[in-house]
A and B are shown apart, each in its own frame.
Chain A
Amino acid sequence: MKALEEIIWYLRLTFVFTRKAIKAMLTYRFSFLINCISQAMDYAVTFLLMWVMVSAFENMNGWNAYEVMLLYAFSLFAYGIAGAFFFNIMNNLPGQIWKGDFDDVLVKPVKVLPYLLSSNFSCNYIAHLTLSVIVMGICFRALEIPLTVWLLMKIIRILAFGSLLYGGFFLFVSGSAFLVTKIDAMDNIMFFFREVSFYPLSIFPKIIQVIATVLVPYGFINFYPLKELLGKRDSAYFGDLASWSPFVAILFFFIACLFFNKSTKRYKSSGS
């Protein structure tokens, strides 16, 4: 009961912070708008290129152009949801730690991670989400898959666990900021595998497939669940792992939270 109260309190805090963040953003309206448009255009061009490429080859290891685009759209949507909560943390935390501004969080009567989530929520991911929903619509239509309630629930489930996995990656990268001064190496790994998740995992060398399944479980964000959803049979190294997705996502996210909380104990502040 107490835990539920806490969650509600942090949700309320998120709402208050977001309202203030929007107020602050309105002073930089132009920058916000340009940011959204340029991001949407960036991803839209990637979609287009992907479609051209796959349709020229007709298929990619048994996945046709619409199916590959669906992979991309699912990954992007999950990334957008996780990004709204975690991206600012990953982006701001290294600087805060380096300059010692993280002190400010520690003198507040709040739990570190929930507070960071509340105070760093971002509305900038509307572009990602809108774009990926549009592409999903186009793809399901072209693949002649009827959107039943059952399918919709399945999609939501896949996206929810995908977001959780992405959240875990964000947390691992953010938490490492307490251990090393620069997190470039860590976020490079994250974004490399994000790139991998845009294509069918089965087209990659075996070693990448193993890493993306066992070590950094990107495969569970979109590849394995969609493989099952679309009923694909391809030459992937691992067979059908879709049913593992929820379990892997929850466990991975849990470990990421533990890692993050442990890392915060290593904070050394800085002189003034």
Chain B
Amino acid sequence: MSLIEVEHVAKDYDVMIQRPGAKNVLRNIFCPDRKVIHAVKDISFAIDSGELVGFIGENGAGKSTTLKIVSGILFPTSGSITVSGICPYLEREKNAHNIGTVFGQRSRLNWDLSMIDSFELNKEIYRIDTGLFRKNVEMFIDMLHMKEFCHTPVRQLSLGQRMKAEVALALLHEPSILYLDEPTIGLDVLAKQQIREFLKERNRRAGVTTILTSHDMKDLDSVCRRIIILSKGSILFDGAIERFKQEYAKEAIAEFTYTKRNTGQDMQTDSIKIIEDQEHRLVVRYLPAEMTTAQLVGIIGGSYEINDFAIKAPDIEDMVRGIYEQEELR
């Protein structure tokens, strides 16, 4: 049995729709129109202890909703969930001992107090043993380089400093599962790097099962071993990040610079797609499986006077964009 089991879970939201115009005012008050939004539609997945899983998806794909259901904040409309053998929303309190959460857009720190004060409050709330608390605080401050700002009121911290404190706060009570919703949003490179390393280290040393959502593909590439791609409330892909790359990295991108374009000849074929063509710069997408680099250069060379070219393997971001585009067309 897996640590986290999600079976056929769906979540609908009931939203009221305001009709525009003065004549609809009374109608809006007394019998507003309702619309059901299917935020998550029948998803199933299982996560084993010690896994590092990343959720990807466009805005509104249902990532946050999924995390909130699994962490016990929301009730699903249908389906069943077990997290370490219990149902997170029915046994919310028991489940809460076992999990740590960081929701990037909201703060769990008290802004008028220092980070250490918030840590001390959590020590009481989670009933953390004093010895363990001291050990963890010291270790986390050291690992996340927080010494210089640990006594400053949180409202005076930079976003990066605050987020490090949030992540540390979520792990103080040594939960076995950590949920992070966009933990690196808006952070600088160094802060991102430190948080990623910290998450990996905690997973390796303390065995914390980590589930995170992010729009930053580098987060997922460097932290996660498995990704789940959501789109419009359904799972599009669930598997190892390596497998994802193999499956979706079929297309490569080539960039040419040219001096002149030979007019009259149209070289557009099915296997080469022009993405950009301006100011002597041409970017195309092609399938390496179907043609060699020499063939590609030959075709392009027929229509352009090529100066230089570079082949770029697509990164995850390109692949995910490709998937979203396909979904949009459906």
Nearest opposing residue in chain B for A115, CB measure:
B125
Residues of chain A with a CB closer than 8 A to B101's CB: 103, 107
Selected contact of A24 from candidates B99, B112, B181, CB within 8 Å: B112
Decide if A109 touches B117 in the complex (CB within 8 Å).
no
A111 CB contacts on chain B under 8 angstroms: 93
Partner of A272, one of B93, B104, B121, B126: B104
Chain B residues, CB < 8 A from A12: 124
Q: State the CA gap A16–B124 with chains docked (Å).
A: 8
Query: Does A269 make an interface contact (CB < 8 A)?
Result: yes
A93 to B96, CA, bound (A): 21
Please, which residues of chain A bring their CB within 8 A of the CB of B113?
Answer: 20, 23-24
Contacts of B75 in A (CB 8 A): 265
Give the interface size bracket for B toward A.
Answer: 20 to 34
Q: For chain A residues 256-272, which have a beta carbon within 8 Å of chain B? A: 265, 267-269, 271-272
Q: A269-B73, A271-B60 are in contact. Are A109 and B110 (CB under 8 A)?
A: no
A129 within 8 A of B: no
Contacts of A115 in B (CB 8 A): 125
Contact of B106 among A23, A27, A103, A268 (CB under 8 A): A103
Q: Is A17 an interface residue (CB 8 A)?
A: yes
Q: A271 contacts which chain B residues (CB < 8 A)?
A: 60, 64-65
Contact B108 A104 (CB under 8 A): yes
B105 at the interface (CB under 8 A from A): yes
State the majority secondary structure of interface residues on B. mixed
Instruction: Indicate which residue in B60, B64, B72, B121 contacts A106 across the interface (CB closer than 8 Å).
Output: B72
Most buried by B among A23, A101, A265, A271: A271
With A20-B117, A23-B117, A24-B113 as given contacts, are A107 and B71 in contact (CB-CB < 8 Å)? yes
Interface status of A160 (Cβ within 8 A of chain B): no
Which residues of chain B have C-beta atoms less than 8 A from A13's C-beta? 124-125
Query: What's the minimum C-beta distance from A254 to chain B, rounded to whole angstroms?
Result: 22
- Asked if B13 is an interface residue, CB under 8 A from chain A, the answer is yes
Nearest opposing residue in chain B for A13, CB measure: B124
What separation, in Å, do the CA atoms of A107 and B88 have in the docked complex?
10
Given known contacts A20-B113, A103-B68, A106-B73, what 4 new A-B pairs fall within 8 Å (CB)?
A12-B124, A16-B120, A110-B93, A272-B103
29 A-B pairs within 8 Å (CB atoms) are namely A13-B124, A13-B125, A20-B110, A20-B117, A20-B121, A24-B112, A27-B112, A100-B106, A103-B68, A104-B108, A106-B72, A107-B71, A107-B96, A107-B99, A107-B101, A109-B93, A109-B94, A109-B96, A109-B125, A110-B96, A267-B74, A268-B13, A268-B74, A271-B60, A271-B64, A272-B64, A272-B104, A272-B106, A272-B181
Chain B positions within 8 Å of A, measured between CB atoms, are: 13, 60, 64-65, 68, 71-75, 92-94, 96-97, 99, 101, 103-106, 108, 110, 112-113, 117, 120-121, 124-126, 153, 181-182
